[in-house]
């Protein structure tokens, strides 16, 4: 339990969302993924400079590139994939996913300027308009 809380803090996950089976999953946004990558990159770089300055072993500085990938970029990439899966799930499970006013990257109903979720549809279906699909 405490490990999950620490990972939520480090990955900037916001709150939780209940799935159909009753399990709770953290809410991921594109902004939290990008901010997490930037902040973790800064922390890894500060650590790298501190260790190199203290130990004066510049020949091992290439190891920090692996730390940068493993500690900052890869977790952010996995978090962004979770964000994309959440968007697909919202598009499939709600009426908003097929509406022309649904803004996918921000999960937003544009006319109402409110976020869409599985449990909340801003217009309650009254202002729904189909997307125009071009072949």
Average pLDDT of 17-22? 58
What's the CA gap between 33 and 107, in Å, rounded?
A: 15
Q: Do 85 and 120 fall into the same domain?
A: no
Strand intervals (E) in the chain: 14-18, 24-27, 102-103, 108-109, 114-115
CB-based contact 36:12 (threshold 8 Å) = yes
As given in the structure block, the two tokens for residue 11 are 């990955």
Q: Do 83 and 127 fall into the same domain?
A: no
pLDDT tens digits, residue range 52-78? Answer: 889 888 887 788 888 888 888 888 888
Nearest CA-CA partner of 79 in 117, 115, 45, 36: 36
Q: Do 87 and 98 fall into the same domain?
A: no
As given in the structure block, the two tokens for residue 115 are 């976020």
Q: Do 72 and 103 fall into the same domain?
A: no
Q: Is the pLDDT of residue 17 over 70?
A: no
Q: Do 49 and 38 fall into the same domain?
A: yes
Domain count, the chain: 2
| Structural domain boundaries, residue 37 | 2-93
Confidence of residue 2 (pLDDT cuts 50, 70, 90): confident
């Amino acid at each position: 339990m405490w490990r999950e809380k620490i990972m939520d803090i480090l990955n900037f996950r916001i709150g939780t969302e209940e799935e159909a089976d009753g399990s709770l999953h953290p809410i991921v946004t594109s902004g939290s993924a990008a901010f997490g990558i930037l902040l973790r990159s800064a922390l890894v770089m500060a650590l790298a400079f501190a260790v190199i300055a203290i130990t004066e072993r510049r020949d091992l500085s290439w190891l920090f590139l692996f730390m940068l990938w493993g500690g900052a970029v890869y977790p952010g990439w996995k978090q962004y994939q979770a964000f994309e899966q959440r968007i697909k799930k919202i598009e499939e499970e709600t009426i908003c996913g097929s509406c022309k006013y649904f803004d996918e990257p921000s999960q937003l109903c544009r006319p109402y300027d409110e976020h869409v979720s599985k449990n909340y549809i801003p217009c309650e279906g009254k202002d729904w308009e189909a997307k125009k699909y071009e072949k």
